[in-house]
């Protein structure tokens, strides 16, 4: 198998001239962010200041800086070669596209909000033209190294799979250095996430999404994501500890509870998505009414937590309320799963969808007129008191390590512990003999049954475990929101969590993986929360995003090896190239002995 460097650039420029033009364009784009882009501060971010970037200008500056950095790495600077282990051209194009997208989105937003292109200052025109020139210059860069069998043409040189790129062998690092790389990566990830969640207006958040999306694609095409994945797989315990430590630091970076409340709800959403991942991702059971188990846990906790509107009139300590919510959800999971899990596929999906609607309607009818007075009907159970755990009142502000942490910060830290418990349960279950049996049932239930696996019992166990994990999250949600109502637990709606968004979070993030549903849940909750000014179009944009995802990455954002092979069939044996000479030598030896 030979390799080639001979594919022609898209634009007829000498490689050296193309790299110089790319660097010059990136430098000009960066310089333009220090000029005024508009004459009035009516556009958010105050882009009228000369000499100091603000708002969306900062994103363009970061994009231009990264473009120049990766262009320099491809130019041959030895100190930067580690940035592009798998390719030098495609990452630069992705970053140039991200910078262009952010810049021209800003120009378009200024024109729409202020009434025309006449509201642009020379700095805005300079940024738009410089970012466009940078993109055009990248089209003259030579293609990355590729195999003869998968020679890219045109834009495929930049957008094709990493299989077509020959990555340089990774330099061996001592264990302490690998751990430092993991810790630094999570620190950068925390900063990027904090910046996104702290964006003060929708335009800045959209620009942030554009740049981060293309930057992630650039890092993937450069091979950095693959190398980081290899390090995290090698040091799994260190990775989990680093992720938990980075998450703990988040509330200490906030000055008020406005954005910490969003992060708290993201954790609730992510925890429930992990529970659904047991049912859908591991066992392969399509559950369309899963949000009902979250409601069961929330209602159980609200009834026994001392609410003045509770019809039971009891007050359990928090640990007892948690156990009550999880236990009641588990019992409901067994009661619903026992008669229905002998069904498969679409039939099971219809039954679980019906269960979700039955739960919501039943909670509405237990109002004292159409049924027993248990849940106060559509009014729900309000006035759920704040938690008081071992004398620590979650409803008031506390100073922790010299930093004031508000109510939502307290609940965020509590949900972080709950999420860690759910992650531990999911990880242990997935790696156990039962987890492997679930995967076997998901892949082929008939073959698994023929091999002696009791499919019904194991599916019922997955259903019950998933229900218990959802109920566990529901107990905390009841105290965070103060009120539990039936309308919070629908199949679909504009505000997550609901069954449709939970299922979408699992599929978007990557079914059967540990971090996939957490990433998917974070995106699906954060984006609607930060783009409320587009409320009339959110479901439309959500549908478009799902269509694009299913077309270009059906295995999800974070997929395991099995899903990647399933959705991207190559028709070739998955044999590492470096082992082919050894195999050929083995065949030659065998022939000689014969």
Co-location of 214 and 356 in the same domain: no
pLDDT at 586: 43
Q: Which domain holds residue 289?
A: 254-387+400-518
**CATH number reported for the structural domain that contains residue 281 in this entry:** 1.10.3470
Asked if 353 contacts 281 with a C-beta cutoff of 8 angstroms, the reply is: no
d(CA 566, CA 547): 19
Co-location of 78 and 222 in the same domain: yes
- In-domain check, residue 556: no
SS3 content of the chain, % helix, strand, coil (to 5): 65, 5, 30
pTM, full prediction: 0.80
pLDDT in tens, 329-378: 999 888 888 888 887 778 888 888 888 888 888 888 887 787 787 888 88
Co-location of 228 and 288 in the same domain: no
Q: Evaluate if residue 62 carries a pLDDT over 90.
A: yes
Co-location of 71 and 175 in the same domain: yes
pLDDT in tens, 199-254: 888 889 889 999 998 998 888 888 888 888 888 888 888 888 888 888 888 888 88
Show which of 467, 484, 518 is a domain's final residue: 518
pLDDT at 214: 92
- In-domain check, residue 435: yes
- In-domain check, residue 249: no
Show which of 206, 234, 262 is a domain's final residue: 234
Asked if 197 contacts 260 with a C-beta cutoff of 8 angstroms, the reply is: no
Residues 6+ apart with CB under 8 A from 387: 318, 393, 394, 395, 411, 414, 479
In whole angstroms, how far apart are CA 412 and each of 86, 247, 421, 488, 522? 39, 10, 14, 20, 14
pLDDT in tens, 110-119: 998 888 888 8
């Amino acid at each position: 198998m030979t390799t080639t460097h001979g594919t022609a650039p898209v634009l007829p420029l000498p490689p050296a001239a193309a790299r110089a033009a790319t660097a010059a364009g990136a430098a000009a784009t960066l310089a333009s962010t220090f000029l005024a882009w508009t004459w009035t501060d009516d556009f958010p971010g105050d882009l009228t200041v000369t000499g100091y970037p603000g708002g969306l200008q900062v994103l363009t500056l970061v994009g231009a800086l990264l473009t120049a950095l990766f262009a320099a790495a491809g130019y041959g600077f030895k100190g930067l070669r580690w940035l592009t282990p798998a390719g030098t051209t495609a990452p630069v194009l992705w970053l140039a596209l991200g910078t262009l997208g952010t810049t021209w989105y800003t120009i378009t937003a200024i024109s729409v909000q202020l009434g025309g292109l006449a509201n642009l200052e020379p700095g805005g025109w300079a940024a738009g033209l410089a970012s466009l020139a940078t993109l055009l210059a990248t089209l003259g860069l030579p293609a990355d190294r590729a195999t003869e069998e998968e020679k890219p043409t045109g834009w495929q040189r930049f957008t094709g799979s990493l299989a077509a790129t020959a990555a340089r062998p990774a330099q061996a690092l001592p264990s302490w250095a690998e751990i430092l790389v993991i810790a630094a990566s999570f620190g950068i990830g925390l900063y990027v996430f904090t910046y996104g969640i702290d964006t003060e207006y929708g335009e800045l958040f959209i620009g942030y999404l554009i740049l981060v999306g293309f930057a992630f694609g650039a890092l993937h095409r450069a091979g950095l994501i693959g190398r980081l994945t290899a390090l995290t797989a090698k040091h799994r315990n260190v990775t989990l500890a680093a992720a938990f430590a980075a998450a703990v630091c988040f509330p200490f970076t906030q000055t008020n509870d406005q954005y910490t409340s969003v992060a708290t709800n993201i954790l609730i959403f992510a925890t429930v998505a992990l529970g659904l991942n047991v049912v859908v991702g591991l066992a392969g059971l399509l559950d369309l009414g899963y949000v009902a188990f979250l409601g069961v846990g929330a209602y159980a906790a609200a009834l026994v937590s001392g609410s003045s509107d509770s019809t039971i009139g009891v007050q359990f300590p928090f640990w007892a309320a948690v156990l009550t919510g999880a236990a009641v959800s588990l019992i409901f999971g067994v009661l619903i799963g026992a008669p229905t899990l002998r069904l498969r596929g679409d039939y099971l999906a219809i039954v679980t969808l019906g269960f979700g609607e039955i739960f919501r309607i039943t909670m509405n009818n237990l109002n004292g007129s159409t049924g027993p007075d248990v849940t106060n009907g559509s009014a729900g159970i309000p006035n759920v008191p704040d938690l008081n755990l071992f004398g620590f009142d979650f409803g008031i502000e506390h100073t922790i390590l010299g930093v004031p942490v508000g109510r939502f910060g307290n609940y965020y830290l509590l949900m972080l512990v709950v999420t860690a418990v759910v992650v531990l349960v999911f990880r242990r279950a997935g790696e156990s003999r039962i987890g492997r049996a679930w995967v076997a049932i998901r892949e082929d239930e008939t073959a698994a049954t023929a091999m002696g696996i009791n499919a019904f019992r194991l599916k019922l166990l997955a259903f019950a475990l998933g229900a218990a994990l959802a109920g566990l999250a529901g107990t905390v949600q009841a105290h965070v929101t103060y009120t539990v109502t039936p309308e919070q637990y629908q199949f679909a709606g504009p505000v997550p969590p609901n069954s449709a968004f939970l299922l979408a979070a699992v599929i978007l993030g990557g079914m059967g993986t540990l971090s996939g549903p957490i990433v998917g849940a974070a995106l699906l909750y954060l984006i609607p929360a930060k783009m409320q000014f587009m409320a009339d179009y959110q479901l439309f944009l959500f549908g478009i995003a799902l269509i694009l995802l299913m077309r270009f990455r059906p295995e999800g954002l974070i997929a395991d090896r099995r899903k990647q092979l399933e959705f991207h069939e190559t028709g070739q044996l998955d044999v590492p190239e470096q082992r082919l000479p050894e195999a050929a030598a083995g065949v030659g030896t065998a022939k000689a002995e014969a």
